[in-house]
Structure 1
Amino acid sequence: MSDETTVAETAQLKLTGLEKIRYYGAYLLFALLWMGGLTIVSAVLLPQHMKDVLGDADAATKVFTVLNVVTAIASLVSNLLFGNLSDRTRSRFGRRAPWILGGGIVGGVSLFLTGISTNPWTIGFWYCVCMFGLNAMIAPVIASFSDRIPEDMRASMSAFMALGQTVGQSVGTIIAAYFISNTLPGFLAAGILMGISGIITILVWPTEKSSADLPPVKAGWAEFWASFIPPTKGARDFWLAFGGRTLLIFGYYMITNYQLYILQDYIGQDKKTSGATIATMSVLIMIFGLIGSLGSGFISDKIGKRKVPVALASVLMAIGYALPWIFKTGWSMFGFAIFAGFGYAVYGAVDQALNVDVLPNKEEAGKDLGILNIATTLGQMAGPILTGVLATTVGYAAVFPTAIVFSALAVVFFFMIRSTK
Structure 2
Amino acid sequence: MDTTATVAAQPTISIDNLAPDTGKPLTKAQVTRFGLGFLLFGLTWMTAGAIGAGVLLPNRFTYLNIGKPETILSMMNSISIIFALIANVVFGALSDITRSRFGKRTPWIFCGGFVAAAAFYCTSIATSVAGIVVGWSFFQIGINIMIAPCIAILSDRVPSKIRGTMSAFYGAGSTVGGSIGTIAGSAFINNDRLGFILGVVLLCISGILTVFLFPKELPSTTADTQHISVKEIVMQFRPPTKGARDFYLALVGRMLLMVGYYMIMGYQLYVAMNYIGLESTDAAALVSQMSLISTVIVLPISLLAGPISDKMGKRKPPVVIASIILCIGLAIPFASPTKMGMLVFAGVASLGYGVYTAVDQALNVDVLPNAEEAGKDLGILNLANTLGQILAPLCTSTIVIATNSYKLAFPAAIIAVLLGAVSIIFIKKVK
Cα offset for 1:208? 1.5
Question: What count of residue pairs does the alignment treat as equivalent?
Answer: 413
The 5 A counterparts of 1:26-105 are 26-53=37-64, 59-105=68-114
Whether the aligned pair in 2 keeps the contact of 1:159 and 1:349 (CA below 8 Å) is: yes
- Determine what percentage of the aligned residue pairs are the same residue: 44
Cα offset for 1:280? 1.8
The 3 A distance-change label for structure 1 pair 46 and 313 is farther
Cα offset for 1:8? 10
Q: Distance in 1 between matches of 2:283 and 2:125?
A: 24
The 3 A distance-change label for structure 1 pair 259 and 108 is farther
Whether the aligned pair in 2 keeps the contact of 1:174 and 1:278 (CA below 8 Å) is: no
Q: Distance in 2 between matches of 1:188 and 1:383?
A: 31
Give 1:411's aligned residue.
421
The 3 A distance-change label for structure 1 pair 162 and 237 is same
Q: Which of 138, 152, 160 lines up with 1:143 in the alignment?
A: 152
For 1:18, give the aligned amino acid.
A
Q: Which of 210, 226, 229 lines up with 1:216 in the alignment?
A: 226
Q: Distance in 1 between matches of 2:137 and 2:303?
A: 33
Q: Distance in 2 between matches of 1:80 and 1:51?
A: 34
Cα offset for 1:338? 0.7
Q: Distance in 2 between matches of 1:387 and 1:111?
A: 29
Q: Distance in 2 between matches of 1:179 and 1:391?
A: 32
Whether the aligned pair in 1 keeps the contact of 2:16 and 2:161 (CA below 8 Å) is: no
Tell me the alpha carbon deviations over residues 185-229 of structure 1, each in whole angstroms, 9 at most, x when there is no partner: 333322322221111101111112221226125222x43222111
Q: Distance in 2 between matches of 1:48 and 1:391?
A: 25
Give 1:329's aligned residue.
338
For 2:372, give the aligned amino acid.
E
Return the TM-score normalized by structure 1: 0.91
Tell me the alpha carbon deviations over residues 251-293 of structure 1, each in whole angstroms, 9 at most, x when there is no partner: 2223333323433454444454334323321221112112320
For 1:233, give the aligned amino acid.
K
Does residue 188 (structure 1) correspond to residue 204 (structure 2)? The answer is: no
Q: Distance in 1 between matches of 2:400 and 2:196?
A: 27
**Segment of structure 1 superposing worse, 338-347 or 183-192:** 183-192
The 5 A counterparts of 1:10-409 are 10-11=19-20, 13-53=24-64, 59-213=68-222, 215-216=225-226, 218-220=228-230, 222-388=231-397, 390-391=399-400, 394-409=404-419
Q: Distance in 2 between matches of 1:271 and 1:262?
A: 11
For 1:321, give the aligned amino acid.
L
Whether the aligned pair in 2 keeps the contact of 1:22 and 1:204 (CA below 8 Å) is: yes
The 3 A distance-change label for structure 1 pair 135 and 160 is same
Q: Distance in 2 between matches of 1:269 and 1:119?
A: 33
Whether the aligned pair in 1 keeps the contact of 2:18 and 2:26 (CA below 8 Å) is: no
For structure 1, list consecutive stretches of 5 or more residues without a partner in the other structure.
Answer: 1-5
Q: Distance in 2 between matches of 1:18 and 1:8?
A: 15
Cα offset for 1:306? 0.7
Q: Distance in 1 between matches of 2:211 and 2:44?
A: 13
Q: Distance in 2 between matches of 1:84 and 1:392?
A: 40
Secondary structure of 2:428's counterpart equals coil
Whether the aligned pair in 1 keeps the contact of 2:19 and 2:26 (CA below 8 Å) is: no
Give 1:420's aligned residue.
430
Whether the aligned pair in 2 keeps the contact of 1:79 and 1:371 (CA below 8 Å) is: yes
**Segment of structure 1 superposing worse, 190-199 or 402-411:** 190-199
Q: Distance in 2 between matches of 1:147 and 1:114?
A: 34
Q: Distance in 1 between matches of 2:401 and 2:125?
A: 28
Cα offset for 1:390? 4.7
Q: Which has the larger radius of gyration?
A: 2
For structure 2, list consecutive stretches of 5 or more residues without a partner in the other structure.
Answer: 1-14
The 3 A distance-change label for structure 1 pair 347 and 181 is same
